[in-house]
């Protein structure tokens, strides 16, 4: 993984952390207090300035009530991780809406493939 890919991954993980925090109605101050760190440290993780350790990711997942992999999968550029994320997004839709989305996705892929 080169430096550009690494930076993009760290930023994406930070965005996932911020999104999960928001989904849970928590402020950076709330998360910082639970973790025993400064609000600035939380901000640095969310903006991709600081890389959270595996232990810190586990703590964040516990706070947000999610699996550690959720913080990583949404940020990953690996095809399998992206496919899993799409599967999770489709899970709550009825069959008709999933079929419609699959049709749109097929059209988009076809359009991208032609260029």
User: Does residue 90 share a domain with residue 70?
Assistant: no
pLDDT number for residue 66: 93
Q: Residue 95 sits in which domain range?
A: 78-115
Q: Contact at 8 Å (CB) between 74 and 88?
A: no
pLDDT tens across the length of the chain (115 residues) = 788 888 888 998 999 999 999 999 999 999 999 999 999 999 999 999 999 999 999 999 999 999 998 888 777 777 888 888 888 889 999 999 999 999 999 999 998 887 5
pLDDT number for residue 1: 77
User: Does residue 40 share a domain with residue 84?
Assistant: no
Domain CATH number, residue 13: 1.10.260.40
* DSSP per-residue string spanning 42-82: HHHHHHTSSPPPHHHHHHHHHHHTS-HHHHHHTT---HHHH
Counted domains in the chain: 2
End-to-end CA distance of the chain: 27
Q: Contact at 8 Å (CB) between 40 and 31?
A: no
């Amino acid at each position: 993984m080169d430096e550009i890919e690494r930076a993009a991954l760290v930023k994406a993980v930070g965005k996932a952390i911020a999104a999960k925090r928001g989904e849970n109605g928590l402020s950076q101050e709330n998360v910082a207090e639970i973790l025993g760190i400064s609000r600035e440290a939380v901000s640095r993780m969310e903006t991709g300035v600081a890389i959270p350790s595996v232990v810190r990711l586990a703590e964040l997942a516990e706070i947000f009530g999610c699996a550690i992999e959720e913080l990583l999968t949404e940020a990953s550029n690996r095809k399998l991780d992206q496919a899993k994320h799409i599967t999770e997004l489709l899970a709550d839709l009825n069959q008709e809406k999933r079929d419609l989305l699959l049709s749109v996705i097929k059209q988009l892929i076809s359009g991208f493939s032609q260029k």
